[in-house]
């Protein structure tokens, strides 16, 4: 599989939300909420953005409290939390460091932000969410909260936070064009349109399943000799394409009667 | 008369003037070399940085033993670096920096996993670059190589090595040393050496 990052409509929507944050009118509206079902490419998109922008990435944990959050941010900023005594001093150091990095990124015309993945685990806890709001408010720094279904519902309990997050991105199942782009961008074998469509239909637009199908197509296609249009459904008849997400059973390409 | 506009002429002339081991004042030197006092002072500062000169009193200079040796060898002082760079240089936005950021997020990864997140269109050969980087990181103990590989799809593929980031020392990517086998870790401010290949 080619190690290429493919821009799907979900990725474009995410970058669009970041652009809207950069051009926002109300400076405090700097929160972005990203949600969607597992397997739609949220984490891959976010990680790719963090890697390219040099932003801070944190993965929320169940037992987080205020001190733990600050300690995690300090560690991510390469600062020894033990060397700073006192809550206030640690908080001040976090703000100083984030300001410095944010200004540097602005100077280079880049976006620097704080990403908190698996945010569902903490989104119902007022103390943590207020601390995140506090940090993002004081420096008006883009803060991206990533989660699944419950994140958006939980945020409704905190209107002061939800009002700062007008930019919400829901990762949706891939369209047929997205699936085709993903297959063309990642698969080392030329795939015909009918097989791409078949993969898209069976995967229900989930990137995880599409990638699984690409691996199976490559395994078969690199040993076969596909025609000029690429590997077709008929070529792959009887081959396993992916596993069913709900039953765990393998899904095979049907053999034509 | 000394060429006043050439960056190395005045320090070279001063070095030759003091070659006899005498201690001369700034006024005498300015008169003898046809330079202003400021130019003599700047030339002296240049020799001081090279440890060729010592100041016996305010405005009075004499050569050190190193300076006398340099004068005897007719050394010509030139502008530019005084020797090879001894510290590793940090370049902020390289492919390896992005790869390191990706490794810290993933912890357990293969080469394609990291290249997918870290590569840009302008990177010449990110796969080869990352392989060479991981080789050094593995030898210094920063990453561990799993005995089990992730299977590949090509007919003769040996699969992909799986790596584990064993030492996450901070956000700045370690830089491979060019003159010694090992890396310089900016996060801890130390060189971490390994056995040569």
ipTM of the complex: 0.86
pLDDT bucket at A41, cuts 50 / 70 / 90 = very high
pLDDT bucket at A257, cuts 50 / 70 / 90 = low
User: Does residue B86 surpass a pLDDT of 80?
Assistant: no
Question: Could you report the per-residue pLDDT of B9-47, keeping only the tens digit for each?
Answer: 899 999 999 998 888 899 999 999 888 999 999 999 999
CB contact under 8 A, B106 and A1: no
User: Does residue A50 surpass a pLDDT of 60?
Assistant: yes
DSSP-based three-state secondary structure for B24:
strand
Joined together, the tokens standing for residue A28 give: 């405090």
Joined together, the tokens standing for residue B83 give: 């020797």
User: Does residue B54 surpass a pLDDT of 80?
Assistant: yes
Work out the mean pLDDT of chain B and round it to a whole number.
90
pLDDT bucket at A152, cuts 50 / 70 / 90 = confident
pLDDT bucket at A16, cuts 50 / 70 / 90 = very high
Identify the H or E element spanning B54.
Answer: strand B53-57
User: Does residue B96 surpass a pLDDT of 90?
Assistant: yes
Conformational region of residue B159, where left means phi above 0, alpha means psi within -120 to 50, and beta covers everything else? left
Q: Edge-to-edge strand order for the sheet containing B143-145? A: B108-109, B163-165, B143-145
CB contact under 8 A, B112 and A57: no
Question: Could you report the per-residue pLDDT of A105-139, keeping only the tens digit for each?
Answer: 888 888 889 999 999 999 988 889 988 988 888 77
pLDDT bucket at B124, cuts 50 / 70 / 90 = very high
User: Does residue A146 surpass a pLDDT of 80?
Assistant: yes
Long-range contacts of B158-166 (CB under 8 A, 24+ apart): B160/B110, B160/B111, B160/B112, B161/B110, B161/B111, B162/B108, B162/B109, B162/B110, B163/B103, B163/B108, B163/B109, B163/B110, B163/B134, B163/B138, B164/B107, B164/B108, B165/B103, B165/B104, B165/B106, B165/B107, B165/B108, B165/B109, B166/B141, B166/B142
At B1 the pLDDT is: 62
Interface size, chain A vs chain B, as Cβ–Cβ contacts under 8 Å: 56
At A176 the pLDDT is: 96
Work out the mean pLDDT of chain A and round it to a whole number.
90
Query: Inter-axis angle of helices A176-186 and A9-22, to 10 degrees?
Result: 100
Q: How far is A79 from chain B (nearest CA, A)?
A: 8
What lies within 8 Å, CB to CB, of B18 at 6+ separation is B24, B53, B61, B62, B63, B67, B71
User: Does residue A24 surpass a pLDDT of 80?
Assistant: no
Residue bearing the bigger pLDDT, B123 or A141: B123
Interval A76-100 mean pLDDT: 88
pLDDT bucket at A166, cuts 50 / 70 / 90 = confident
**Among the partner residues B102, B111, B172, nearest to A51 by beta-carbon distance:** B102
Question: Could you report the per-residue pLDDT of A90-103, keeping only the tens digit for each?
Answer: 999 998 999 888 88
Question: Could you report the per-residue pLDDT of B24-33, keeping only the tens digit for each?
Answer: 899 999 999 8
Chain B residues whose beta carbon lies within 8 Å of the beta carbon of residue A51 = 98, 101-102, 105, 117-118
**Among the partner residues A78, A188, A219, nearest to B171 by beta-carbon distance:** A78
Q: What is the C-alpha separation between A43 and A39, in angstroms, rounded?
A: 9
What are the beta bridge partners of residue B184?
B175, B191
pLDDT bucket at A198, cuts 50 / 70 / 90 = very high
**Among the partner residues B101, B153, B170, nearest to A51 by beta-carbon distance:** B101
Question: Could you report the per-residue pLDDT of B152-195, keeping only the tens digit for each?
Answer: 888 888 999 999 999 999 889 999 998 889 999 998 899 999 88
Distance between alpha carbon A213 and the CA centroid of its chain, in Å?
21
CB contact under 8 A, A54 and B93: yes
Are B2 and B33 in contact by the 8 Å Cβ rule? The answer is yes
């Amino acid at each position: 599989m080619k190690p290429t990052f493919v821009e799907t409509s979900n990725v474009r929507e995410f970058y669009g939300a970041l652009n809207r944050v950069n051009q926002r009118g109300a400076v405090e509206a700097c929160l972005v909420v990203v949600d969607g079902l597992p397997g739609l490419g949220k984490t891959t998109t976010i990680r790719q953005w963090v890697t390219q922008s040099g932003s801070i990435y944190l993965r929320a944990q169940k037992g987080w409290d205020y001190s733990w959050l600050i300690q995690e941010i300090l560690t991510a900023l390469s600062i020894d939390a033990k060397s700073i005594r006192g809550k206030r001093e640690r908080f001040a150091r976090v703000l100083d460091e984030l300001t410095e990095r944010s200004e540097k990124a602005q100077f280079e015309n880049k976006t620097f932000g704080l990403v908190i993945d698996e945010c569902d685990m903490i989104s119902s806890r007022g103390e943590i969410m207020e601390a995140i709001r506090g940090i993002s408010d004081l420096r008006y720094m883009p803060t991206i909260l990533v989660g699944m279904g419950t994140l958006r519902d939980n945020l409704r309990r905190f209107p002061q936070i939800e009002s700062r997050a007008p930019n919400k991105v829901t990762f949706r199942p891939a369209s047929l064009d997205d699936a085709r782009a993903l297959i063309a961008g990642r698969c080392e074998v030329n795939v015909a349109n009918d097989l791409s469509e078949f993969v898209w239909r069976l995967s229900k637009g989930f990137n995880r399943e599409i990638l699984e199908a690409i691996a199976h197509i490559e395994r078969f296609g690199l040993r076969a000799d596909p025609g000029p249009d690429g590997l077709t459904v008929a070529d792959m008849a009887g081959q396993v394409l992916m596993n069913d997400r709900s039953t765990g059973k393998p899904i095979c390409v049907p053999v034509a009667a | 008369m000394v060429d006043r506009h050439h960056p190395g002429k005045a320090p070279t002339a001063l070095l030759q003037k003091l070659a006899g081991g005498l201690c001369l004042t700034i006024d005498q030197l300015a008169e003898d070399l046809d330079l202003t006092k400021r130019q003599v002072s700047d030339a002296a500062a240049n020799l001081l940085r090279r440890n060729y000169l010592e100041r016996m009193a305010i405005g009075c200079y004499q050569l050190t033993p190193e300076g006398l040796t340099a004068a005897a060898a007719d050394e010509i002082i030139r502008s530019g670096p005084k020797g090879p760079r001894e510290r590793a240089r940090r370049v902020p936005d390289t492919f390896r920096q992005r790869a390191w950021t990706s490794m810290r997020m993933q912890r357990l990864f293969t080469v394609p996993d990291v290249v997918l997140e870290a590569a840009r269109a302008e990177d010449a050969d990110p796969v080869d670059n990352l392989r060479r980087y991981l080789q050094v990181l593995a030898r210094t103990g920063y990453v561990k190589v799993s005995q089990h590989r992730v299977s590949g799809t090509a007919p003769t593929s040996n699969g992909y090595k799986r790596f584990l980031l064993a030492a996450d020392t901070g956000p700045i990517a370690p830089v491979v040393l060019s003159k010694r086998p090992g890396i310089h870790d900016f996060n801890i401010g130390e060189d971490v050496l390994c056995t040569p290949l």
